[in-house]
Amino acid sequence: MGWRSLSHPSFRGEVMADVLFDCTQFLTFEANECGDVLSLLLPLFEKSNDFMVLQEREISERKISHLNEFLNRHTVELVNQEFIGEFDEWFEFDEIPQPIKQFGQNIKELIERKIIEQLTIILVRYAYGEESADNIFVGDYRVDNIYDGLYHASCFGNSGNIVVIRLKKS
């Protein structure tokens, strides 16, 4: 668990790399039957967190390519441009903003159904066109401690522009 800095820190006045995509989240996992997982994901995330769930064939190839080293067999994108902004409102660890709390509860419920394995959450504030410019945090957490992992995406967890949380069952 920890930092994996893929670049030197940027300094003021330095030209930043172009952003390839931003403000999105991904769930990537192993499952015997992806259709069963999708039938769970839609009501869990579209209704309670206002995400639009995109199946892998609907996700931009440049996003898949950019995040490829973190992806499992199946990947969905949870599109909600506003969600990553909720992490900017997470000032105190014990005062979790409701949308993040609901997201964590949805993840726990998904894992409790026991139809997926090796679930990884990827939170992307922004992804640079030049992959070496990304600062990526990768951490392993038990599902019971999901908020410990998610806190790394807050401005106070301050863990870079991409946060990868690999979850283990309790």
Cα 14 to Cα 120: distance, rounded to the nearest angstrom: 33
Burial of 15 (0-12, 13-18, 19+ CB in 10 A): exposed
- List per-residue pLDDT tens for the chain, 170 residues long: 444 434 333 333 344 568 899 999 999 999 877 667 778 888 888 877 789 999 989 999 999 999 999 999 999 999 999 999 999 999 889 999 999 999 999 999 988 888 888 999 999 999 998 888 899 999 999 999 999 999 988 877 667 899 999 998 76
Q: Closest Cα partner for 67 from 139, 108, 121? A: 121
- pLDDT at res. 155: 75
Confidence (pLDDT) at 78:
95
Q: What is the pLDDT of residue 117?
A: 85
Question: Would you say the pTM of this structure is higher than 0.75?
Answer: yes
Q: How far is CA 156 from the centre of its chain?
A: 17
Torsion-angle region of residue 117: left (phi > 0), alpha (psi -120 to 50) or beta? beta
